[in-house]
Amino acid sequence: GREAAAEPPEAPVSPPGPLYLEPTAVPGAASPTPEPAEPTSAPAASTAAGATPVAGQTAASSEKSQRTTGRPVRLVIDSIELDRPLVPVGLDENRIPIVPDHDVGWYTLGAQPGQGENVVLWGHVLRFKRAPHIPAPFARLKEVKVGDRVTLFDEHGTAYRYVVTELVQATPDQVEYMLPRGREMVTMISCIGDKVIEDGTVEMTHRLITIAEPLE
């Protein structure tokens, strides 16, 4: 959610590490787009010991376990006319989230759609002064309402459909929204609040957390 007054410095990108390296801040700073990095797969759920599955459950579980998940490559939110490709991103050497200048980032240390965990996306809401003709990817995310539909497409062309269930305003240090949540969901992080000047750039005081859960 930051508008840069000048070219941002090059930020080194750390190599892929364990699933969900803890960040030190919710994304908001402008950073260069890193090279794509493949995430670590989330563990698959298993039936509890001694439990007897109901009829049809075994077949359904088997089908789900055989389904191949892939990294998300496209985000669609019809209510705000958003249709954007996704760029794989991670954390820099200081464990600060890397935010693409003009694209929506997918957090590679999080989950892929269909893995039963938290798929984390983020993007800017302000245009860059050096590129005023390029709209910010999440400029209209604040217009999304509970009940709006969200669709993710993975690299295999599979569509995963979600519905917005929660809108939260958080401070930049509330990183828990980027961490595992124990269920399938999409967390979209953008900036909101008052504009302040920090280190010669325009920053916003809060983060808008838009949460969507699978559409049944």
**For 146-192, what is each residue's pLDDT tens digit?**
999 999 999 999 999 999 999 999 998 899 999 999 999 999 999 88
Could you say which DSSP state residue 59 is in? H
* SS3 label, residue 113: coil
Residue 200: count of CB within 10 angstroms of its CB:
8
What dihedral angle (degrees, nearest 10) is formed by the CA atoms of 19, 167, 189, 67? 40
Question: pLDDT tens digit string along 85-94?
Answer: 999 999 999 9
Residue ranges per domain, the chain?
72-214
Q: 4's torsion region: left (phi>0), alpha (psi -120 to 50) or beta?
A: beta
pTM surpassing 0.85? no
121-to-5, 38, 93, 110 alpha-carbon distances in Å: 25, 15, 20, 9
Query: Mean pLDDT score of the chain, rounded to an integer?
Result: 78
* SS3 label, residue 82: strand
Mean pLDDT throughout 106-120?
A: 97
Most confidently predicted of 4-8, 76-80, 194-198: 76-80
Half-sphere exposure of 127 (CA within 13 A, CB side): 7
CATH of 72-214, picked from 1.10.645.10, 3.40.1350.10, 2.60.40.1180, 2.40.260.10, is: 2.40.260.10
Question: pLDDT tens digit string along 50-82?
Answer: 344 444 444 444 444 456 889 999 999 999 999
Q: Is the pLDDT of residue 101 over 70?
A: yes
Mean pLDDT throughout 109-136?
A: 94
Provide the pLDDT for residue 204. Answer: 75
Provide the pLDDT for residue 127. Answer: 87
Q: Is the pLDDT of residue 108 over 90?
A: yes
pLDDT confidence band for 23 (50 / 70 / 90): confident
The pair of three-digit structure tokens given for residue 111, joined into one six-digit string: 């989950």
**By C-alpha distance, which of 144, 143, 109, 134 is closest to 22?**
109
